[in-house]
Chains A and B, each alone.
Chain A
């Protein structure tokens, strides 16, 4: 029994020696020793509190929230801001957090099924569906298939009508 414990002690000595041989990479922030462990820093450095230099740092930091777009006189891209005129309608489509129109194309069945989905609809969703139906039926000879989900506030239309719907919504200033 005594020899067994002696053996154990020898093994533990061996393992500690072995651990000291394991390579340690000190190159990253997480593996480097803490400042308290080092003591005094020997490398010479200076501390700058210049606000002129700090401006460059602030310029680099990514914003924590999506900025509110400032209204402009003319818009060259397809994007338009949501104006108060849209409140005249019976329905309201809330913009996304990126200030975009929530109209998306869902592609399923390996590219065979294309479904356009309009989200965040408030107010009279049925009136919007009827108006969209009247507009989109001219685009296609096929009968338009759509689904209205009043509770989840979305309309699904079978087929790719994303650009048509976005154009219609921007023309109506919704």
Chain B
């Protein structure tokens, strides 16, 4: 009965051992697969580009393209509100308060006519002609405290600004400069050192002609007699007595004007300024003289 005893022992042992169930049996050989260890950042995945298609290949379609549908941006009628806005002329502002400060800190000399060169020479007003900027827009901030008697030439001015300057006994002109002329005015020393002749100023483009021939806007192409008439009209509108220019001790300074072809005061187009020898070279060839006079 030795075997019988052993069987009993085995059976009692089995009674205490845990049952065989799904929890404690080994899986079939080959059933479990080890996870592959990817190399590189983020376990060697798709780098966020996704699986298959244009995403994975990174050949993105052009913006707004809807794979054959009529794109959303063409589906409806629209008005081109901003058509050509990037080509419009810009006039970066300069306030009357800033102008008064420039005068009081002696950055601008009011005993001489103030033009764009004088404003740019302060180094406190920057202009980028290549970004469609065409000069100064004199704005009316600080218009009440402006008292200086100036002969100023800007590219854009409002009626209030014109009135304020004329009330203080000054003169204002609005003048147009083309981009090449503006480039010469940015830094005159650099321009003269280049050794090229002073170019002639171009006439304003078609959409600006109206502004610069308007005596009410004090355009530089307007009839001077009509301008003086408009000065009187503005004085009556704003209710101030117009100071008489003829009796002014600075009459010569206040009446100094540029020719519509001229960029700098006193210097004619076609002249070459030599800063080293302090001489001015003037052309005498008839062909050149005709060109610069035209």
A, B in one complex = yes
Closest chain A CB from B191 CB (angstroms): 9
- Please tell me if A99 contacts chain B, counting CB pairs below 8 Å: yes
The residues of B that contact A76 with a CB separation of less than 8 Å are 100, 104, 145-147
A47 contacts B106, CB within 8 Å? no
Q: Does B50 sit at the interface, judged by CB under 8 A?
A: no
A170–chain B nearest beta-carbon distance, Å: 13
Q: Known contacts A43-B285, A55-B266; is A67 also within 8 Å of B196 by CB?
A: no
Taking a contact as CB atoms under 8 Å apart, the answer to whether B279 and A44 are in contact is no
Q: Report yes or no: A77 in contact with B104, Cβ–Cβ below 8 A.
A: yes
The answer to whether B106 and A70 have CB atoms under 8 Å apart is: yes
Q: Which residues of A contact B112 (CB under 8 A)?
A: 59
Asked if A1 is at the interface (CB within 8 A of a chain B CB), the reply is no
Name A78's contact: one of B101, B187, B280 (CB within 8 Å).
B101
Closest to A44 in B: B284
Chain B residue nearest in CB terms to A67: B106
| Distance of B118 from chain A, by nearest CB (Å) | 8
Considering the chains assembled together, what is the distance between the CA atoms of A131 and B280 in angstroms? 59
With an 8 A cutoff between CB atoms, is A29 at the interface? Answer: yes
Q: What are the residues of chain B within 8 A of A45 when measuring CB–CB?
A: 281-285
Interface string of A71-109 (1 = CB under 8 A from B): 010011111000000000000000000110000000000
Chain B contacts of A47 at CB under 8 A? Answer: 279-282
Measured CB to CB, the closest approach of chain B to A146, in angstroms, equals 29
Q: With A and B bound together, what is the CA distance between A56 and B147 in angstroms? A: 27
Total contacting residues, chain B, CB less than 8 A = 39
Interface size on A, residues (CB 8 A): 32
Does any Cβ of A come within 8 Å of B243's Cβ?
Answer: no
Structural contact, A53 and B280, CB atoms closer than 8 A? yes
* Smallest beta-carbon distance B180→chain A, Å: 12
- Which residues between 222 and 263 of chain B lie within 8 Å of chain A, taking CB atoms? none
A48 to B273, CA, bound (A): 10
A49 on the B face (CB < 8 A): yes
> CB within 8 A of B189: which of A53, A55, A62?
A62
Is the contact region of chain A dominated by helix, strand, or loop, or is it mixed? loop
**A59-B265, A62-B123 known; A44+B278 contact, CB < 8 A:** no
The distance in angstroms between the C-alpha atoms of A54 and B192, with both chains bound, is 13
Is B192 in contact with A62, judged by CB distance below 8 angstroms? no
A48 to B104, CA, bound (A): 36
**Distance in angstroms between the alpha carbons of A77 and B147 in the assembled complex:** 10
Interface pair A75/B285, CB less than 8 Å apart: no
Interface contact B105-A63, CB-CB below 8 Å:
no
Q: What residues of B have a CB within 8 angstroms of the CB of A139 in the complex?
A: none
Q: Which residues of A contact B288 (CB under 8 A)?
A: 43
B203 at the interface (CB under 8 A from A): no
Chain B residue with Cβ nearest A68 = B106
Task: Name the one of A54, A60, A61, A72 contacting B280, with C-beta atoms under 8 angstroms.
Answer: A54
B100's partner among A44, A69, A77 (CB-CB below 8 A) is A77
Contact A44 B266 (CB under 8 A): no
**B119-142 to A contact mask, C-beta < 8 Å, 1/0:** 011011000000000000000001
Q: Report if A46-B281 is in contact (Cβ < 8 Å); known contacts: A57-B267, A59-B112, A62-B121.
A: yes
Chain B residues contacting A66 (CB-CB under 8 Å) are 107
11 A-B pairs whose Cβ atoms sit less than 8 Å apart in the complex: A45-B285, A46-B284, A48-B280, A53-B266, A53-B280, A56-B266, A56-B267, A60-B267, A61-B121, A67-B107, A72-B104
Give B residues with C-beta under 8 Å from A: 97, 100-101, 104-107, 112, 117, 120-121, 123-124, 142, 145-147, 187-189, 192, 194-196, 264-267, 273, 275, 278-285, 288
On A, residues with C-beta under 8 Å from B are: 29, 43-50, 53-57, 59-63, 66-70, 72, 75-79, 98-99
